[in-house]
Amino acid sequence: MDDDGSTNEYRAALEAAQRHALSWLDTVAERPVRPDADVDGVLASLRRDLPDDGMDPVSVVEELVEASAPGLMAMGSPRFYGFVIGGAYPAALAADWLVSAWDQNTGSRQPTPATAAVEEVAADWLLDLLGLPSGSGVGFATGATSANLSCLVTGRDALLRARGFDPVSDVQTAPRVRFLAGGAVHTSVVLGGRIAGMGAPRTVGADAQGRIDVDGLRRALAEDDVPTVVALQAGDVHSGAFDDFTAAIAVARDAGAWVHVDGAFGLWAAASPRFARLTAGLADADSWATDAHKTLNVPYDCGVAIVRDEAAMTASLGAHAAYLPAVASVSDPYDRVPELSRRARGVPVWAALRSLGRRGVVELVDGLADAATGLAEGFRAIDGLEVLNDVVFTQVCLAARDDAATAALGEWLRAEGTVWASSSTWQDRTIVRFAVSNRGTDAEAVRRTVDAVARGAAELEISG
């Protein structure tokens, strides 16, 4: 603060940041989605020796915006379909600004009662919305990768404890933990297994849409009696397909395995009665991971780790030190994620849920799926293009007559700027993948997207 105790030193800088933020938000829906400069272009404006003398805060903000603006991707655009990235609800964005201003290190409940309480309410709401067991442990992580890691570490340790081993003191003598997954397992689960010391999962096969081969899982589990973690998925990153949870979990339970569900975007389907057929049996797993910065449309970053047995979660992830305050009967936020210090990521989750209500969340989930269906229908009407996946949720895989044409179409779209979609390879074919995650992707955004794809196909002589 200034000498007189005022906040003037903050006010001018924050007002400058607000002005630029509102300008960005006012234009993000209509601006070209692509950035105008690459990393080297932005570096050319920024890279210099650190000056001996500093700069006033407003000038710092202005310099940052001037250098960065050409390199910004309009990820909040309703026509951004790359990766799986949502937008930001106004209440969630505003709450996130407050999180930064409050600057609460939400690791322990004692020193940060406000943000810890908000997160605990958000956690209760999430469990209720998703139909997951009341009383489960909920941790707000950086994203689905760290959420998957939190759950996998907890599962690994729980399995070893069940066999009489201490995951810490008996690490050299404990049996190996087998790690199984379907043939379409996501890389975040693979990475989580590696970091957790289980290695990459052994895959047991999958069908054409990426759903786990339940018979293959049964055969793998029957090979020997070792502690086993089984990873299932709600929402294949390409097709959007959901594993058969009822069948797969029954098989895993018979073998005494820990069942984890990677639901980075697909877990949100459990909030809508419309998708009950996809999520049947999902709540019978032991742990689940998802992202709020995908389907729920809160600002980056926010993942959610959920474990049925909160005590097991705390035993694996809890932090202990003489200087850390603790209440023996209640776990702290840092007991549920592998972070001792972190921002209050659950506050924007609370704000999004409070602004939407239960009905609003259902409408959000259904609306994203409707947009994906609309895209698929529009693409199918374009000569020379085909949709390769069964569009069951929010993913659409588009292909042209051959891989070269498909690759060219993806490059054309990203350069033209009306839409941005990721290129990938699926089922041995090059595809352009459209992941619908933004709350603003309405019928008009779908129409403009289909029109852009049609123009690209015509210009590249794919169609007609």
Q: Which residue segment(s) compose the domain that 451 sits in?
A: 358-459
Question: Has residue 240 been placed in a domain?
Answer: yes
Residue 432: pLDDT above 90? yes
Residue 136: pLDDT above 90? yes
Query: What pLDDT score was predicted for residue 326?
Result: 67
327 and 363: one domain? no
Question: Has residue 331 been placed in a domain?
Answer: yes
Q: Six-digit token pair at 177? A: 């933990």
Query: What pLDDT score was predicted for residue 167?
Result: 93
More confident residue, 328 or 78: 78
C-alpha–C-alpha distance, residues 412 and 131, integer Å? 42
Query: What pLDDT score was predicted for residue 1?
Result: 46
206 and 248: one domain? yes
Question: Has residue 153 been placed in a domain?
Answer: yes
Per-position b or e across 251-261, b if 16+ CB within 10 A of its CB: bbeebebbbbb
Query: What pLDDT score was predicted for residue 2?
Result: 53
pLDDT tens, residue by residue, 153-188: 999 999 999 999 999 898 888 999 999 999 999 999
Query: What pLDDT score was predicted for residue 258?
Result: 98
Question: Has residue 88 been placed in a domain?
Answer: no
Give the three-state DSSP class for 188: helix
Question: Has residue 4 been placed in a domain?
Answer: no
Written as one letter, the residue type at 101 is A
What band does 320 get if pLDDT is binned at 50, 70 and 90? confident
276 and 157: one domain? yes
24 and 150: one domain? no
Question: Has residue 406 been placed in a domain?
Answer: yes
pLDDT tens, residue by residue, 207-265: 999 999 999 999 999 999 999 999 999 999 999 999 999 999 999 999 999 999 999 99
Written as one letter, the residue type at 273 is P
Domain CATH number, residue 217 = 3.40.640.10
pTM: 0.96
Closest among 383, 381, 393 to 434, alpha carbons compared? 393
Question: Has residue 6 been placed in a domain?
Answer: no
pLDDT tens, residue by residue, 181-217: 999 999 999 999 999 999 999 999 999 999 999 999 9
Give the three-state DSSP class for 166: coil
Angle at 289 between CA 174 and CA 89, to 5 degrees: 155
Question: Has residue 200 been placed in a domain?
Answer: yes
175 and 234: one domain? yes
Query: What pLDDT score was predicted for residue 7?
Result: 64
Domain CATH number, residue 390 = 3.90.1150.10
Residue 41: pLDDT above 90? yes
Query: What pLDDT score was predicted for residue 324?
Result: 83
Q: Please state, as a whole number, how many other Cβ atoms lie within 10 Å of the Cβ of residue 457.
A: 24
| Count of the separate structural domains present in the chain | 3
Enumerate helices (H) and strands (E) in the chain, giving the number of each.
Answer: 14, 11
35 and 120: one domain? no
Residue 105: pLDDT above 90? yes
Residue 374: pLDDT above 70? yes
237 and 378: one domain? no
